[in-house]
Amino acid sequence: MKRSQNDMDIDDDRARIVERAAFWYLKMNDGVPLEADRAALQSWLTSDERHAVAYAEVGRLWDGAMGMSLSKPQRVRPLVSRRTIGKAAVGAGLGLAGWMSLNDYPTADFHTGIGERRSIALPDGSTVDLAAKSALSLDYSTQRRRLQLHEGDAFFNVAPDAQRPFIVAAGRGQITALGTAFGVALHDDRATVIVTEHGVEVLHDKRTTRLTAGTAIDYQVDMMGDPHPSETRADLAWREGRLVFTRAPLGLVVKTLNRWRKGRVILMSSALAARPVTLIANLHRLDGVMSQLAQAIPLRVVDGPFKTVLLFAPS
């Protein structure tokens, strides 16, 4: 059904309110705000009920996006009541999308931070490459070599040892190397296994599937797909200093960038999350990736402090 001009005008008005709320929230969190700015914000908040609701919702998104940052801004005296924030959290109808932070897994043996890559030499002569925001634990014995990928991306180059299987646990699955090199990605309980040499066996919910070089498989908590040809150059491009997206949802692109880029990118429109994006980003030049995004799809980019970037649907 065709939308009326009145509906489109309402959406444009709502977008303007949310963008202005984001401007005020970032201004209030950038150092110590001036009293004049605080007074101007208070006037804007009280001039329209929608302003206070939008401001509270932007605050909720900020708190989620900054969840684990070491450079979290100093909090200022709240200008919105708990009651208003609660009302916004219940649902203001603003169509905003949040960002989910990754766990730190402090007990893991190996970690990488935002934007960090690390190569690890294991005791048996095998090697592991870890991508950004990844955590891995090691459990070697005389009977087996077992590793646990808690979160993130890892590439394993396995040294042969017929007496000790090389096993990687990731989410609800378990991968056993058959003299091989392979990658595993685990994000939000969704895993992908990519084989580049020889083969592996993937065990998930009592089902075992064998993969050979050039194939991949995906699984999550309650299901596993079928083997399919892998996009090795794209899926493992981080090992060569690139991120490659081919018609990937913008929501996935943003989550990936938040693992590699200092600061946070926040989607301010749920409608944007599903927009397909084709993009190749240089991990050594991520300061320009927002310009690339804006060229790839229509959106508005608003820069904030602490390298925070807000992405809005075009007006």
- Contact criterion met (CB below 8 Å) for 129 and 112: no
Q: What is the pLDDT of residue 257?
A: 95
Q: What is the pLDDT of residue 70?
A: 28
Q: What is the pLDDT of residue 3?
A: 45
Among left, alpha and beta (phi > 0; psi -120 to 50; other), residue 207 is beta
Residue count (the chain): 315
Residue numbers of the chain with a pLDDT score lower than 50: 1-3, 5-10, 65-103
Map tokens 């397909």 to a residue. 276
Token pair belonging to 313? 């649907």
Q: What is the pLDDT of residue 94?
A: 32
pLDDT tens for 266-312 read: 888 778 899 999 999 999 999 889 999 999 999 988 887 677 888 88
Expressed in angstroms, the distance from the first to the final Cα of the chain is 21
pLDDT tens for 219-238 read: 998 999 999 999 888 889 99
Token pair belonging to 292? 């690339």
Domains, the chain, ordered by start: 1-96 (no CATH), 110-230 (2.60.120.1440), 241-315 (3.55.50.30)
Q: What is the pLDDT of residue 93?
A: 32
Token pair belonging to 61? 């998104």
